[in-house]
Structure 1
Amino acid sequence: MTGSASTGAVEVGSPAPDFTLKNQHGQDVTLSQLRGRNVVVLFYPFAFSGICTGELCEIRDNLSAFNDADAEVLAISCDPMFSLRAWSDQDGYTFSLLSDFWPHGEVARAYGIFQEGPGAAARGTYVIDREGVVRWKIENGLGDARELNGYLQALQSLG
């Protein structure tokens, strides 16, 4: 992670903590370099798990709605990049799967959703506007799936 990031929960109306992580192809993705576009930062606990696969397949199947909102999807877990590549290849994810593997969970900690026990991020979704400000969020526990319509509506409200 680069830049300064506060610890604790991220609040609506506050700047999103910046980060640089590697995607499933080994390329660096930096949140602040996406300014000028809306961004959906989506934390999930584990690649290849049932609920996570369901959530990311739903995003994959509705990616045009994110494109229509000029939104970049960044899905983040603490899994290693190579696992994310295998999962992406298997399920056809064309959006970025980012590895928060090392330092383990550093970005999830900056967003206040890292779970020490399982060593994974909880299910946090943050809709970030073109200026880098968090405009909507939902934070669910490890086993609680999110509703896609919630963040699609939040994106539509950004215009």
Structure 2
Amino acid sequence: MTDTVTAGARAPEFSLRDQYGQDTVLGSLRGGPVLVVFYPLAFSGVCSGELADLRERHGDLAALGVTVLAVSVDSTFALRTWSDAEGFPFALLSDFWPHGATARAYGVFDDERGVARRGTFLIDAEGVVRWSVRTPVDRPRDVDEYVARARDLAG
């Protein structure tokens, strides 16, 4: 595994399909902050809770101009089913093929399990990572911290 991308580094570029089969290109989102949230798998217990919390706080992030992108190795079909069931207001991106390539670029791919680890990256309008954190796979992340970091970035 490569080292996790840290604050001050340029965010690795990617183009991934969302739950609707549309391409999402990180570089096309320049001009505003982007929160990239890697998670292991759709429909799993901790991930479901985390993304539900993120859904509940999405309005706060959107008010700060933050685009939220949640990334897993699931197929677009699984992501669409999960998104439709849960009503997620943000893009769920498929890092399915080449398997985990984007998670690897960010240093959060778990080679042993074949999934992304819990890694979160707040990227500024110019494409520079301003905050990142890795959380153990068995613990949910604190979505309130996302909002606080986004507020700090907004000034």
Query: In which range does the TM-score fall when normalised by the shorter chain?
Result: over 0.9
CA distance in structure 1 between the aligned counterparts of 2:32 and 2:119, rounded to whole angstroms: 20
Question: Number of paired residues?
Answer: 153
User: Paired residue for 2:19, among 8, 19, 24?
Assistant: 24
- Asked whether 1:73 is paired with 2:72, we answer no
Task: State the 4+ residue runs in structure 1 displaced beyond 6 angstroms.
Answer: none
Deviation at 1:150, TM superposition (A): 1.3
- Give the counterpart of 1:86 among 44, 58, 81: 81
Aligned partners of 1:94 and 1:67: how far apart in 2?
A: 10
> Structure 2, unaligned stretches of length 5 or more?
none
CA distance in 1, matches of 2:99, 2:136: 19
1:142 aligns with 2:137: yes
Q: What is the TM-score normalised by the length of structure 2?
A: 0.96
Cα RMSD after superposing both structures: 0.8
Q: TM (normalized to structure 1)?
A: 0.94
What percent of counterpart residues are identical?
48
In the alignment, which of 9, 16, 21 is matched to residue 4 of structure 2?
Answer: 9
Instruction: Report deviation, 1:140.
Output: 1.4
Kindly provide the amino acid, as one letter, of the partner of residue 105 in structure 1.
G
For residues 28 and 13 of structure 2, the distance between their equivalents in structure 1, rounded to whole angstroms, comes to 9
What's the CA shift for 1:141? 2.3
* Structure 1 residue ranges without an equivalent (≥5): 1-6
Partner of residue 156 from structure 1, selected from 132, 136, 151: 151
